[in-house]
Amino acid sequence: MITHPAIDDYIAGLVPERSELLARLEKEAAAENIPIVQLPAAQVMRMLLLLHRPQSILEVGTAIGYSTIWLAEAAPEARIVTLDIDEERLTRARANVAEAGVQDRVEILLRDATLGLPDSYQFDCLFIDAAKGQYRAFLDLYLPLLREGGLVISDNVLFRGLVATPEEATKRQRPMIDKLQAFNKHLVEHPELETTFIPVGDGLAVSLKKKK
């Protein structure tokens, strides 16, 4: 936990109600232990997209389509490509995206994200929310497909605060924490990126691809 639960609840009570679909997906994800972007982080992501107004978005990690719908609603002019390796979850994601009425703008691909995409794909925004230990690989693969001035939004980069207190991580968690720490450092030191960290949800990193 990186924020105070009472503050999260207070802020959640101030924002407009989500659609019945999004509220239902939140309950399904909680009941089935499906990782989705936390609501406060989704709200920040929505604001970033409203300001940035991307025309094309790549999402690495679809799950059941919860964040895909947030992306589509926040960027109504954007076409979205979303990747995941879990066929059963993608079947659910397709149904959920269709229920949201945004299926005409969303391309859902059953694909191992570590395989990359052809250079013909170009994006204005990259949202990374998949296997945490692979974040560096995802960035290296997809940053060349991001246009100058584009955004990289990475979720879970503070991972329950354990990146700051790794001694509290379990033995199983430690390799992932090490990789997240290295990824965060890489974001800050990357010559093509300007990065800031937002302690909301499970931690967001927001990076701007600099213009040459």
| Mean pLDDT value of segment 132-150 | 96
**What count of Cα atoms within 13 Å lies in the side-chain half-sphere of residue 22?**
18
The string of pLDDT tens digits covering residues 81-122 is 999 999 999 999 999 999 999 999 999 999 999 999 999 999
Percent pLDDT > 70 in the chain is 99
Please tell me the class of the 5-209 domain. Answer: alpha beta
User: Residue positions in the annotated binding site?
Assistant: 37, 67, 84, 112-113, 129, 155-156
The answer on pLDDT for 2 being more than 70 is no
C-alpha to C-alpha distances, 128 to 27, 57, 75, nearest whole angstrom: 22, 11, 17
Q: Write the single-letter amino acid at 34.
A: I
User: Residue positions in the annotated binding site for Mg(2+)?
Assistant: 129, 155-156
User: Residue positions in the annotated binding site for S-adenosyl-L-methionine?
Assistant: 37, 67, 84, 112-113, 129
| Mean pLDDT value of segment 132-157 | 96
Q: Which of 47, 52, 50 is nearest to 147 (CA)?
A: 52
